[in-house]
Amino acid sequence: MRALLVQAATPPTYWGYQHSLPFIRKKATLPPLGLATLAAHLPEAWEIRIRDLHLGPLSGEDLRWADAVLVSGMLVQARSMREVLARARRLGKVTVAGGPAPTTSPDAFPEADHLFLGEAEGRLDRLVRALEGPGPSPERILSPPGLERPDLALARVPRFDLLDLQAYATFALQVSRGCPFTCEFCDIIEVFGRVPRVKAPGQVLAELEALRRLGARGPLFLVDDNFIGNRRAAARLLPEIAAWQRASGWPFDLYTEASLDLASEPGLLRAMVEAGFSAVFVGIETPNPASLAEAGKKQNLRTDPAEAVRTLARAGLEVFAGFIVGFDSDDETIFDRQLAFISSLPIPRAMVGTLLALPGTALWRRLEREGRPRTLPTGDQFDRPNFEPAMGEEALVAGYRRLLQALYTEEAYFARCALHLEVAPIRATPLRPGSLPTLARTVWRLGITGSRRRFFWRLLREGLRRGGLAAVPKAVTLAILGEHLIRYTQEEVLPRLAARLDEIRAEKRGRPAAHRVRRLDPAAARAPLGAAPAAG
Ligand code: SF4
């Protein structure tokens, strides 16, 4: 059996850092960890290739080589997934769609002969039997019935060896799945459950060691839903990671995702920093307590979010965070409140979205009861709201656009970077291969020829004043990240949101619009590839 595992492409997003990657000579941000994990659980006798479309187009040779083509992705990658599946099918290959998007939206992949829903560990027997069988399998769904969640004791070390690791800005591994909280909009708890499942320390160290032996050095993202979902397990693991890092010469700069209540766990926080963590993503969402209550985000109501962020930053973690506008409890003042709130925080990278209703979530179920869903999510963060927003669509899209415009001016972004350098302790970081050429490229492009050179040098001066030469890597990294966040906002996001506003206003005036929002029609998700969205 020759299995071709394909990671579908993502259109440009805030998370893709497409404008930052050339500075560090990398092709993509994160390797396809899910496919490397799947590969570790497929039969040893199979020949396996992993192809990530973020690194380049899928070749005809790869497709012709394969007996079966297995494609994975999130909703934002659904179009690319369907294109690969259609190409493979035209060549007569058996096609399988799996991963987050098929798991939550199985109807959206008509080009797949088979679907695999949920997690891989201990659940692949039917898939393997169907693909190895003498003839085509009549079964469409090749995962076991139900979405039972495997014990992560079954997890094997991912096949990192099948990845072109050096093509990525950061490496990745996973320690746990699931989160104990109940945020209404979150699909993680629906898919991975509310009882966090955690790998044993020995498993995690084996994965770290496997990466190290393959030459991986530098940033490593622990892609957990909530790294402190099981605090006791995190507390047990962290000293072991610290000891391994020390013994191995500190190969990795770690970062992860965690809930904001990490700030109220000083022991855990200290242990993270001692293990080599330097950044954490947290879901802050909103300064509006009524919206937090509406969303069931109780953990953020138990703490002062601004103080929690400063606690994390003072401990040595760069906080990057998610924010949401468009809760039912938000009125039109929320945009100014969010702007003032975010601008006061040492959070250079503030990821702001409008509230999205994902199928299968408590939010989706509530909106269905209220008759408010409009469309299934398209995966486009800057599409029109996929449910009837309480504040009105025009006000929401216009306010959201204003907010992003204000957050990603050069002045605003570099001011938040300076706030971060002001608050965070400066620590010397090991010089990595490629650090000096990156520094030279950045100085040339941002400090000498770039239009933002004034801001670049001011941030560098601020870093030097605060922490001397040890602060230079952080200041340079923030400037590189800012290049993407600012350019992507100004060149892509704002024009797209302006076009959405034009559509909304045209509709209000009764003129036909090219991309009207239609009432929910699940068949729309299965529309032929390339079909224009139906007006209605
Ligand atoms: S804390 Fe994060 S992962 Fe946990 S339920 Fe809330 S949004 Fe989901």
pLDDT higher than 70, residue 27: yes
534 or 343, greater pLDDT: 343
Rounded Cα distance, 475 and 348, in Å: 11
Give the pLDDT of residue 510. Answer: 85
Give 477-494 pLDDT, tens digit per residue: 999 999 999 999 999 999
Give me 373's structure tokens: 């869903």
pLDDT higher than 80, residue 40: yes
Place of tokens 């297995």: 70
Q: State the pLDDT confidence band at 433, using cuts at 50, 70 and 90.
A: confident
Give 106-111's long-range contacts (Cβ < 8 A, gap of 24+).
106/141, 107/522, 107/525, 107/526, 108/75, 108/78, 108/82, 108/376, 108/525, 108/526, 109/78, 109/81, 109/82, 109/85, 110/82, 110/526, 111/82, 111/85, 111/86, 111/529
Pick the closest to residue 325 from 358, 297, 368, 288 (CA basis): 288
Mean pLDDT, rounded, for 378-399: 94
Distance 181 CA to ligand 1 centre (A): 6
Pick the closest to residue 42 from 2, 90, 92, 91 (CA basis): 2
- Cβ atoms of 346 and 422 closer than 8 Å: yes
Q: State the pLDDT confidence band at 467, using cuts at 50, 70 and 90.
A: confident
Give me 122's structure tokens: 């201990």
CA 23 to centroid of chain Cα atoms:
21
181 or 525, greater pLDDT: 181
CB-ligand 1 contact for 226 (6 Å cutoff): yes
pLDDT higher than 50, residue 527: no
CB-ligand 1 contact for 403 (6 Å cutoff): no
Give bridge partners of residue 52 from the DSSP assignment: 7
Give the pLDDT of residue 316. Answer: 94
Angle formed by the axes of helices 453-467 and 410-423, nearest 10°: 10
Give me 322's structure tokens: 């998610």
Give the pLDDT of residue 534. Answer: 28
Looking at every residue in the chain, the average pLDDT score rounds to: 93
Give the pLDDT of residue 379. Answer: 78
- Cβ atoms of 51 and 6 closer than 8 Å: yes
Distance 360 CA to ligand 1 centre (A): 15
CB-ligand 1 contact for 183 (6 Å cutoff): yes
Q: What residue owns the CA closest to ligand 1's atom 6? A: 183
493 or 148, greater pLDDT: 493
Pick the closest to residue 278 from 294, 255, 251, 247 (CA basis): 255
Rounded Cα distance, 167 and 169, in Å: 7
Q: State the pLDDT confidence band at 520, using cuts at 50, 70 and 90.
A: low
Pick the closest to residue 93 from 53, 64, 58, 117 (CA basis): 64
Give 199-212 pLDDT, tens digit per residue: 999 999 999 999 99
Q: How far from 200 is each of 11, 155, 233, 254, CA to CA, in Å?
A: 35, 10, 8, 18
Ligand 1 atom closest to 181 (CA): 5
Mean pLDDT, rounded, for 129-142: 92
Q: State the pLDDT confidence band at 462, using cuts at 50, 70 and 90.
A: very high
pLDDT higher than 90, residue 145: no
The pTM of the full predicted model, rounded to 2 decimals, is 0.92
pLDDT higher than 70, residue 522: no
CA dihedral of 260, 261, 266, 272, whole degrees rounded to 10: -50
Give the pLDDT of residue 531. Answer: 35
148 or 117, greater pLDDT: 117
Over pLDDT 70: what percentage of the chain? 95
Angular region, 336: left φ>0, alpha ψ -120 to 50, beta rest: alpha
CB-ligand 1 contact for 188 (6 Å cutoff): yes
Distance 182 CA to ligand 1 centre (A): 7
Rounded Cα distance, 442 and 155, in Å: 40
- Cβ atoms of 456 and 446 closer than 8 Å: yes
Q: State the pLDDT confidence band at 432, using cuts at 50, 70 and 90.
A: confident
Ligand 1 atom closest to 283 (CA): 2
Give me 95's structure tokens: 């096609």
CB-ligand 1 contact for 225 (6 Å cutoff): yes
Give the pLDDT of residue 512. Answer: 56
Q: Amino acid identity of 50?
A: I
Ligand 1 atom closest to 229 (CA): 4
Over pLDDT 90: what percentage of the chain? 85
pLDDT higher than 50, residue 535: no
Which residue among 176, 183, 260 has the greatest number of ligand 1 atoms within 8 angstroms of its CB, and so is best to mutate?
A: 183
Give the pLDDT of residue 388. Answer: 96
* Least confident segment among 281-290, 293-302, 319-328, 466-475: 466-475
Give the pLDDT of residue 525. Answer: 44
Give 150-159 pLDDT, tens digit per residue: 999 999 999 9
Which residue among 187, 188, 228, 286 has the greatest number of ligand 1 atoms within 8 angstroms of its CB, and so is best to mutate?
A: 188
